[in-house]
Amino acid sequence: MNTMPLKPVLSAALAAVFMIGAAHAQPAANSSTKTTPSPMERVASASERHDRSLARADAAFLKQAVQNGHAEIEGSKLALTKAGSEKVKAFAQQMIDDHTKANDELTQLAKAKGVELPTEPSLMQKGKQKLLEHSDGADFDRRYAETLGVKAHEDTIKLFRKGAQEAKDADVKAFAEKTLPKLEHHLEMARELHAAVGGKSEGKSGKADKGK
């Protein structure tokens, strides 16, 4: 009887076992790679979750609110050098103090929520300030009281009322509610200042609007 050499048979068997084992090991390795995220993937995922932690409307409120504050502060600093009335200068200094404090609180809130805020007024707000820069004395007083005094506070109050009513985040909502009374007081002061420096009173403005 012819017999095959033992050594070649064993070698062939061992090779077959090795190939089968490698074939089973490769899918397992691939499966492990797919289910285990890399450190960079874990960091990116955590960042995305943090960005989504605040509703888009709430983040937009914070950004617009801080820009309004920057515009009020920058315009009021201009008033300290260009205003002719001491009443206007006193009002401007209070606006600087109050809006700086509000912006500081807003910045801390935004930081806690992972929202990056603008550090200056919007382009439109900068354009309005440029117009103010071309006036002085009594003319500046009237323009400042009307634009950054009355109109700007009316717009900001609308923004904060919406935030107080519709904000999804409890901390954002609380900030809007807490700040709103101060803004409403600013508007009352601004209207009185506007009338004092020669602007139309609210009553006259109302009649004019009805007549249009």
The 10s digit of each residue's pLDDT in 10-55 is: 455 445 544 545 455 454 444 444 455 554 455 444 434 444 578 9
Identify the pLDDT of residue 19: 55
CA distance 176 to 67: 15
Backbone angles phi, psi at 186, to 5 degrees: -60, -40
Question: What does the pLDDT read at residue 174?
Answer: 98
- CA-to-CA separations, 118 to 61, 147, 157, in angstroms, rounded: 12, 21, 19
Asked if 148 contacts 98 with a C-beta cutoff of 8 angstroms, the reply is no
pLDDT at 11: 54
pLDDT for res 43: 40
- Say what the pLDDT of residue 204 is: 40
Evaluate whether 115 touches 63 at the Cβ level (below 8 Å).
yes
Angle at 98 between CA 97 and CA 101, to 5 degrees: 85
The CA distance from 162 to 160, in Å, is 5
| pTM attached to this predicted model | 0.70
Q: What is the pLDDT of residue 203?
A: 42
Q: What's residue 94's pLDDT?
A: 98
Q: What is the model's pLDDT at position 53?
A: 74
Task: Please identify every stretch of the chain with a pLDDT value under 70, giving residue numbers as ranges.
Answer: 1-52, 200-212
* pLDDT score recorded for residue 198: 82
